[in-house]
Amino acid sequence: MEYRRLGRSGLKVSVLSFGSWVSFGPQLDVGKAADCLAAAWDAGVNFFDNAEAYAGGESERIMGEAIERLGWPRHAYVVSTKLFWGIHDEHHGGVNMKNTLNRKYLMQAIDASLDRFGLDFVDLLFCHRADPDTPVAETVWAMSEIVSAGKALYWGTSEWTADEIRTAIDVAERHHLHAPVMEQPQYNLFERRRVEREYARLYEDHGLGLTTWSPLASGLLSGKYLDGVPEGSRATLPGYEWLRDLLTDAGRNAKVRKLADIADELECTLSQLAIAWCASNPHVSTVITGASRPEQVEENMGAMDVIERFDADVKGRVEAAVR
């Protein structure tokens, strides 16, 4: 496993990490989650991603119980969570606790997350989306105080625009507060603009680190949807109907077939090729992978061998296949 600094911070994270979106709760209980976490750990993964909104808080509870069951020492792993969507019903006093980054929500939500995890602190805390209704300064002050209180060690953003990130950094620097050090954007062969163009100046100007998600474009780049939607896949889960159109898009699947030829030549899977492509971007600190079975974790971790062979020629051919 390779370990990269999270932007300009001193924290090092495994270039391949493991996240719980979709799987923890809807597909995996504590026992099965522990099996997947153990497979990632055995491959050298030290960063595990989560969010308050995943399965309405269940994902944090499952991950916390699974880690406790595995007996990992707290110094040996990095865990994250993300706040914004909330899990409280607006009609029962939750009007200030949903789709917001106000101070009240953030201060209470981090305590609730830590309680579900069974932890004293998370290493990384993300603002899961930007909040146009809350002053950026209010959010920055609250996040900085959470870090100062030791409830999180670093804070960052997820799917914020470059202007929003820059504004938050400016507020923090002006008031000598803890500034955001990382962003969690979607990044894959079909979703590239934000990482490669919009954030370009932020890497050099502020040393922004990236913990990217959806390297397989929700499974499209795994190739398993080339012949339709298989039973048991995430596109068949209740609430994920929106994925069907994406995963059965004829134009994108035609590009996936071209990528399959390259993967065959490299003697790797499509998933490994797609993950290695994401990791080949030097601005990416870690690529968050997901899986519902230990075998899938092991396959994804096999991308490390492909990263070593991802030279300019291979990258050029991959680019041509999806152009």
**Catalytic residue set:** 54
Is 317 domain-assigned? no
For residue 83, tell me if it sits in a domain: yes
122-127/209-212 β-pairing: unpaired
| Per-residue confidence (pLDDT) for residue 93, from 0 to 100 | 74
Residue 50 included in any domain: yes
Q: Residue 219, by phi and psi: left (phi above 0), alpha (psi -120 to 50) or beta?
A: left
Q: How many domains does the chain have?
A: 1
Residue 295 structural domain: 3-249+271-312
What pLDDT does residue 243 have? Answer: 79
Neighbours of 239 (CB within 10 A): 8
Task: Give the mean pLDDT per block of 10 residues along the chain (323 residues).
Answer: 98 98 90 97 98 97 98 98 92 86 98 98 98 98 98 98 98 98 98 98 98 95 86 74 81 94 96 98 97 96 95 94 93
CATH of the domain at 169: 3.20.20.100
In a domain, 319, yes or no: no
Burial class (CB in 10 A: 0-12, 13-18, 19+), 58: middle
0.85 surpassed by pTM: yes
Report the pLDDT value the prediction gives residue 231, as an integer from 0 to 100.
Answer: 77
**C-beta separation of 80 from 50 below 8 A:** yes
pLDDT of residue 229: 81
Which phi-psi region, left, alpha or beta, contains residue 231 (left: φ > 0; alpha: ψ -120 to 50)?
beta
Phi, psi of 123 (to 5 degrees): -75, -45
Would you say residue 264 lies in a domain?
A: no
Residue 201 counted as domain residue:
yes
Q: Contact 49/20 with Cβ under 8 angstroms?
A: yes
Provide the pLDDT for residue 246. Answer: 82
pLDDT at 283: 98
In a domain, residue 52? The reply is yes
Q: Is 257 a member of any domain?
A: no
**How high is the pLDDT of residue 91?**
72
Neighbours of 313 (CB within 10 A): 9
